Amino acid sequence: MSGITMTTVESGARPEVGRTAARGGRRRGLRFSAAAAVAAVGAAAVLTAAGPASASQFFGGTLHPGEQRCVQQYAGYQVRADGRATGQGAKFKLQYQGVTVPGTGSPGLVAAWAADLRTVWGTFPGAGYYTACVTNNGTADTNVRLELKTDGEV
């Protein structure tokens, strides 16, 4: 078995970890390091087969006047974006394929904003990458939070 040593332990006997027991000229038992290597290879195979994971995208921080931050994520059937801003507020928008989705841009500087597009409501434009942006169009710094969730996260 290509470099792996096996050990058989009789009931009541204690195996020696990291060593092989010689009995009758044969090596028996599985060395601890070899067992760990086999387990690691198996775990890597399972994780590779699991596919891509999705997690909501988030930005939180201070924006100076004129600054913009965006987060992007793929959506297959629904997307939701939420934003908050302090002080004078901020301008928010949700884009699909580089174009602002009609009705999702805030009317100006706002303290809270949300956009929710779903297939079941007939408001979801299609599968692809969505980008949520926040811009400080005010004259003072503002603290913002921007979150983008898609599909099963919504």
Q: Tell me the one-letter amino acid at 124.
A: F
Among residues 75, 77, 72, which one has the least CA distance to residue 118?
Answer: 77
For residues 40-62, give the mean pLDDT: 57
CA dist., res. 6 & res. 27, Å (int): 7
What b/e string do you get for 37-59 counting C-beta neighbours within 10 Å, with b at 16 or more?
eeeeeeeeeeeeeeeeeeeebeb
Q: Residue 72 is inside which H or E element, if any? A: strand 68-75
Inform me whether the pLDDT recorded for 10 exceeds 60. Answer: no
Q: What is the pLDDT of residue 135?
A: 96
pLDDT of residue 44: 42
Backbone angles phi, psi at 109, to 5 degrees: -75, 125
**Whole-number mean pLDDT of the chain?**
77
Q: Is the pLDDT of residue 79 over 70?
A: yes
Q: What is the pLDDT of residue 54?
A: 56
Q: How confident is the model at residue 56 (pLDDT cuts 50, 70, 90)?
A: confident
- pLDDT at res. 58: 85
Instruction: Examine the pLDDT at 118 and tell me if it is beyond 80.
Output: yes
Mean pLDDT, range 145-154, rounded to an integer:
94
Rounded Cα distance between 114 and 136, Å, is 17
Residue 147 has pLDDT above 50, yes or no: yes
For residue 109, pLDDT beyond 50? yes
Higher pLDDT, 147 or 12: 147
